[in-house]
Structure 1
């Protein structure tokens, strides 16, 4: 899950890793260690994962600064502790159930919505975005192509999870307090508030994603990852001009999908 395969200073004595060190640093070995820790809850640092979730809202730069510290101490950028993933999964399930209650869905419909949100909205879309970002970063953003630097797919997915969490809280929690009484009403103010929630949520997703790739010192021109902001604002203005309430449309879509 390392975003870079560069050699550390302790490995540069003879210019290559010895066989034991090489085995420990392979992507397969790291993936096996990460997945194995999913079965040992007492070995996970949930307190630190909660700290990361808090700072993804208040100061996301601090979260990625910690990623840099991990690279210095453990020679690994991506998380080696699945506590964040576990807490995110729990929050995703709980918020989706509450969202289903707000929409007035039954038990079976709630289960269908939960499966849709987990496997399509989070995992499916996440895999697609992570793969796209992994390709773009390695194809166009590497400072010195051909050297032993690359953004691995695992780190790209880790960045997606960081950016997805604030979006989830904004759309699946904060927005719920406004759905019935304001957003779902046939009025401009309902359209304005609903679309503004989407503007903030997706805008924050773009920003946190930018910070994730900007933290990697071997990438260049990462500012281009902020360019989608312009398209986002344009779509926001167009949706208000057309009176298209995105939240209301998505609620109707979800109700249609689970029936």
Structure 2
């Protein structure tokens, strides 16, 4: 599937988390459309979500080019469609069961791993990252955000303003899409290669640590591409700075720190990896 791409309208109107405009008669803030569509599965575009997941690994830049279509038609950068979140949560459910059956002691710990993977690793961390990005990226790289000192507080969902503004919903879109390569490399590939990369050999250490470098590198690049697609943000290349830190830490880890041996048990909420798996 190749989505239609068109240029955004200049001087677009108010944007918000779900694309719903505020009432003109002072009726308050309407419920964001994202929440209204949480359980309307027939209206969700799972085909688009699958295309995005494939493109995030092969050509991530294409994913964020498609946002211009939503600006043109919906007057919002954010896509109020939870299909990507549901689909990735389902994939995390499957991988958590695989990790649990392989390393957990009993059904209760497997359920705990499942809850941790979906609600803590994915949703909570994505919310925290998107919240930090909403305040810092909008404040430092763009026109700022409403609600800070010196501005009239409008909240996170309805943001009327004079020009383009960073939406919290778009920050969440970027965060969950940046998490997909993390799932691919650290939840799937690492699980499949664990019998090899968890051994006490330098080659195992090299390939295991490289998995973490690649996954974090993808996360940083996708985050950069997401915010770089917004025409009102400036100097977004600063978001690539963490890659230099990751490379330095990766190089230092090659002198004896096997990341899969130390971080995979944390991924499993403290479960012990069997030696020689």
Name the TM tier (shorter chain). Answer: 0.7 to 0.9
Equivalent residue, structure 1, for 2:229: 215
Unaligned runs of 5+ in 2: 1-9, 15-19, 146-160, 273-277
CA distance in 1, matches of 2:28, 2:241: 31
Return the offset for 1:116: 1.8
| TM-score normalised by the chain length of structure 2 | 0.79
Contact persistence 1:163–1:206 (CA under 8 A): yes
Equivalent residue, structure 2, for 1:75: 75
| Structure 1 residues 63-82: Cα deviation after superposition (integer angstroms, max 9, x where no partner) | 10111121112111111221
**Secondary structure at the residue paired with 2:199?**
coil
CA distance in 2, matches of 1:29, 1:153: 16
Unaligned runs of 5+ in 1: 1-5, 12-19
- Between Structure 1 and Structure 2, the one with more helix by share is 1
CA distance in 1, matches of 2:36, 2:86: 13
Q: Is it true that 1:247 corresponds to 2:274 in the alignment? A: no
Equivalent residue, structure 1, for 2:211: 197
| Structure 1 residues 92-122: Cα deviation after superposition (integer angstroms, max 9, x where no partner) | 1111211222325421111111122222212
**Secondary structure at the residue paired with 1:220?**
coil
Q: Is it true that 1:89 corresponds to 2:103 in the alignment? A: no
Q: Is it true that 1:232 corresponds to 2:246 in the alignment? A: yes
Equivalent residue, structure 2, for 1:8: 12
Contact persistence 1:143–1:220 (CA under 8 A): no
CA distance in 2, matches of 1:91, 1:255: 16
The alignment's C-alpha RMSD in Å is 2.7
Contact persistence 2:178–2:220 (CA under 8 A): yes
CA distance in 2, matches of 1:159, 1:27: 28
CA distance in 2, matches of 1:175, 1:249: 13
2:193 equivalent among 169, 178, 182:
178
Equivalent residue, structure 2, for 1:65: 65
Return the offset for 1:153: 1.9
| Structure 1 residues 32-65: Cα deviation after superposition (integer angstroms, max 9, x where no partner) | x222222121121211211111111111111101
Identify if the C-alpha distance between structure 1 residues 29 and 63 changes in structure 2 by more than 3 Å, giving closer, same or farther: farther
1:154 equivalent among 163, 169, 179:
169
| TM-score normalised by the chain length of structure 1 | 0.84
Q: For this pair of structures, how many residues does the alignment match?
A: 242
